[in-house]
Structure 1
Amino acid sequence: MTKRTQNSNRSPYPYKLPRLIKTTNVWYILYYVWNVDTQKLVRKRVSVEGRTDAEREQDASEIIAWVSKELQSGAYVGTPKPSPQPAASDVTLSKNLTLTQAVAYFFQTKRDIADSTAILYTNYSNHFLAFFKERGNAQVQLRQITKPVVLAFMDQVRLAGKTRNNILGFMHSFFEMYVEREVIEKNPAAKIRKDSLEESEDHLPFTPEQIRELKESILERGDEQLWLFCQFIYYTFARPGQEIRLLQVKDLMPTSIRITAKRGKTNRFRYPFLSPALEAEIIRLGLRKYPPDYFVFSNASNSDNPNHPDNFKVVPGPTPPGQNSYYNRHVRHLKKLGLFGKDYDIYSWKPTGVIALWSATLDMKLIQEQCGHSTINQTDRYLRKLGLVIRPEKLNEFPTI
């Protein structure tokens, strides 16, 4: 009998919760997640690892808990499509502008939004439009949306604090655009406080001992791909999801890597420097010898056996790996070391690298360039968030007169 599709009130998408499947040769977790492109549930499976049945049961329990949480919080696959909107050229800016028209005009005039950010903004605006449609007010005018209305919408958003703050940030920018154009007089999202986030909601950096243990664990398994992936994050401060995963051979410049505007968070090109250690790895692996359009990290397999050691070797190819491929492989090692679920993940290699470079150089301008921050103040805030400040003992180097 087919298991009934469930839908938590926290998720706008249907899903089927994960369950453990045991066969003679392999154990795996089976679940179904909504594909926003095809508008259908798609089947997914995650392999369970462990040397004994007890270890596999523990691994399965942790995977099921994590996948269930993601599904119930609104996880999906594919790229969300915006709701049908009128063309911006058909929209007349007036005091009677509807929310639907305002959303269309916003996306077709804000051309400086990075692709990844545009996807998130599209998702946020679709939820906001659905909020009014469900209440029989699909043609609400922008001037009718007040602070209490925005608060009512935010109150029914049952997502993590960081996501709630991102939604609120989008709404502030969205309404501010129409204040500037004198369509509305006040920004209804302007004075709404963001959620206070605990420090645990950030990506914790690894300690030197954890770095050593993770490296040993990853290389003991023979996963050269994953270790190189971690090194790229650590040395370049680039983001794993788009900037590293979609890195191509042609992006390996002589002294830097190129992060295109389409892949970057800020919708502009940037060029993090290559450290001597990372450049040595690139040369050792001969990465620049492959075709320019090949992806440095590819999903190509050298064996039908997914656990074959050859599949973990660094071999660029014509197609990139799956979105969560390296994240999931990294989770295995976090679990092995007892770090999973304690605010460590593959993104933790970035703050780990920032701390290491700052400690070695105390060069804020270099950190700014490597992080791609637009201002030195942004870098200062980031360093302080990591607990890094100018050390007072540097005053000992102050020349005497």
Structure 2
Amino acid sequence: MFKKTKVVAKGVATWLKPYVAANHIHISKMAHPFKKAYLQRPLDKSLDKKWFVCFYIFDEIKKKLVRKRLVISGKTLQEREQKADKFISGINELLESGAVINPKKAAESTVKPLEIKANISIISAIEHFLKRKEITLKPRSHETYRSNANTFIEFLKEYNLEAIQLKNFTNEYAHGFSDWLVMEKKLSNKSHNKMKGFCSALFNEFINREVITNNPFKRIQKLRVKQGKHRVFSPAQISEFRQLCEEAKDDAMWFFVCFIYYTFSRPHQEARMMRIEDIGAKTIRVSELNAKSSRVRHIQIPPPLEAMIEERGIRNYPPHFYVFSYGKPGNTLVGEAYWYERHKRYIKQMGLYKEGYDLYGWKHTGVTALYRATKDLKLVQEQCGHTDIKQTVEYLRDLGVFYYEGQIEKFPPI
């Protein structure tokens, strides 16, 4: 949730100030995501075990939500519950006032538009562009932008163009850079196209600011990219994979691929990051911090997936637990390669390794299955989180599925 308010550091309750100071909590002028405080206690309410008030607050250095918790003490059940209510109320008031931890200094994140002049050098333009994007992009996306910028700067330095003004970078230079990427750097067509996209975005930024009038990368053609990664699993392959999981008693692996299949979640950034609190009664919530579109996405829970969730008692675990930890829901987020490596063992047994079959393929398999079962483009669009129906049509087409499937059967004979 988001809430933009005034800076009100004075509103911190006296009893809460030591905790605020010790944890470097400050009130930000910017709106940031947060998750409200809640009580985490033993199911039996035992006073011999630790009780916590947990909440998620935005870390401006890490650029993500981090979990914080306070130990709740007390000799009686009533005393602990009263303390917990007091802390929850105080923490939530802080969060709603714009509280963050590790705030950046204003000078580190502020970009001064007045410094942008018509004679800005291309290197200065790149650095300004990256600073702007650092504010709006996810950390991983910004790293990609920085990597692309470094490649572009390498070209500029190699051809003594680092001092050239942005407005003087012509179409000829853009074509030269395109040739350099393919002929000198030996980049793949896909990587070439990503570099073209980065450079186009760079120049469009300054066109929108009326600093320049021409985008020299507009006429650079995208190179053909071979499709076929993340292949769709056939019914026979699905059956074989399930059998291998059952033989290995690896229910966690089977549940993970089924979750991807039914929800169209990306394995690494969405399914792996899923928490118990994201599993609602009818829908599953993908946080804006994890979703590809950088906006909250809600996915309907199909009946077969609901049955699997109920059978495993997923909603009974603490809300902050990760759904897919080690073997069962837990407090630990598994590494980025954990599920890929685990999945790869079965793919090798099936003789499908390096044949285009991987974890992401379960997402495509689910999308294909849902469309062919329903022929409902709008439903597939909503489940995928696509903003435009055209995006869904193109996505299906890349999987070899056409929204007008079946119509070809009506082709009259000659």
* TM-score, length-scaled by structure 1: 0.68
Whether the 8 Å contact between 1:99 and 1:129 is mirrored in structure 2 is no
Q: Output the aligned Cα RMSD.
A: 2.4
Equivalent in the alignment of 1:177: 205
1:127 aligns with 2:155: no
Alpha-carbon spacing, 1:334–1:189, altered in 2? closer, same or farther (3 Å): same
Structure 1 unaligned residues grouped into runs of 5+:
1-84, 300-312, 397-401
| Code of the aligned partner of 1:235 | Y
| Code of the aligned partner of 1:204 | R
Q: Secondary structure at the match of 1:271?
A: strand
Equivalent in the alignment of 2:311: 284
Whether the 8 Å contact between 1:87 and 1:105 is mirrored in structure 2 is no
- Distance across 1 between alignment mates of 2:278 and 2:219: 42
Whether the 8 Å contact between 2:270 and 2:286 is mirrored in structure 1 is yes
Q: Secondary structure at the match of 1:257?
A: strand
- Distance across 2 between alignment mates of 1:288 and 1:134: 57
Alpha-carbon spacing, 1:153–1:179, altered in 2? closer, same or farther (3 Å): farther
Q: Percent of pairs identical after alignment?
A: 36
Equivalent in the alignment of 2:335: 322
Whether the 8 Å contact between 1:250 and 1:293 is mirrored in structure 2 is yes
Q: Which deviates the most, 92-101 or 147-156?
A: 147-156
Alpha-carbon spacing, 1:382–1:368, altered in 2? closer, same or farther (3 Å): same
Per the TM alignment, residue 360 of structure 1 is displaced from its structure 2 partner at its CA by 0.8
Q: Secondary structure at the match of 2:115?
A: coil
Per the TM alignment, residue 112 of structure 1 is displaced from its structure 2 partner at its CA by 4.4
Whether the 8 Å contact between 1:226 and 1:330 is mirrored in structure 2 is yes
Matches within 5 A, 1:209-358: 209-299=236-326, 313=327, 315-358=328-371
- Distance across 1 between alignment mates of 2:383 and 2:245: 26
Equivalent in the alignment of 2:373: 360
Equivalent in the alignment of 2:43: none
| Code of the aligned partner of 1:391 | E
**Which has the greater radius of gyration?**
2
Equivalent in the alignment of 1:381: 394
- Distance across 1 between alignment mates of 2:255 and 2:335: 16
Alpha-carbon spacing, 1:139–1:217, altered in 2? closer, same or farther (3 Å): farther
Q: Secondary structure at the match of 1:258?
A: strand
Per the TM alignment, residue 366 of structure 1 is displaced from its structure 2 partner at its CA by 0.4
Alpha-carbon spacing, 1:157–1:227, altered in 2? closer, same or farther (3 Å): farther
Whether the 8 Å contact between 2:285 and 2:296 is mirrored in structure 1 is yes
Whether the 8 Å contact between 2:199 and 2:217 is mirrored in structure 1 is yes
* TM-score, length-scaled by structure 2: 0.66
Per the TM alignment, residue 90 of structure 1 is displaced from its structure 2 partner at its CA by 7.0
- Distance across 2 between alignment mates of 1:162 and 1:384: 19
Q: Secondary structure at the match of 1:272?
A: strand
1:96 aligns with 2:96: no
Per the TM alignment, residue 323 of structure 1 is displaced from its structure 2 partner at its CA by 0.5
Q: Which deviates the most, 321-330 or 142-151?
A: 142-151
Per the TM alignment, residue 169 of structure 1 is displaced from its structure 2 partner at its CA by 1.7
Structure 2 unaligned residues grouped into runs of 5+:
1-107
- Please, which of 207, 212, 218 is the counterpart of residue 234 of structure 2? 207
Whether the 8 Å contact between 2:181 and 2:187 is mirrored in structure 1 is no
Equivalent in the alignment of 1:74: none
1:145 aligns with 2:169: yes
Per the TM alignment, residue 353 of structure 1 is displaced from its structure 2 partner at its CA by 0.4
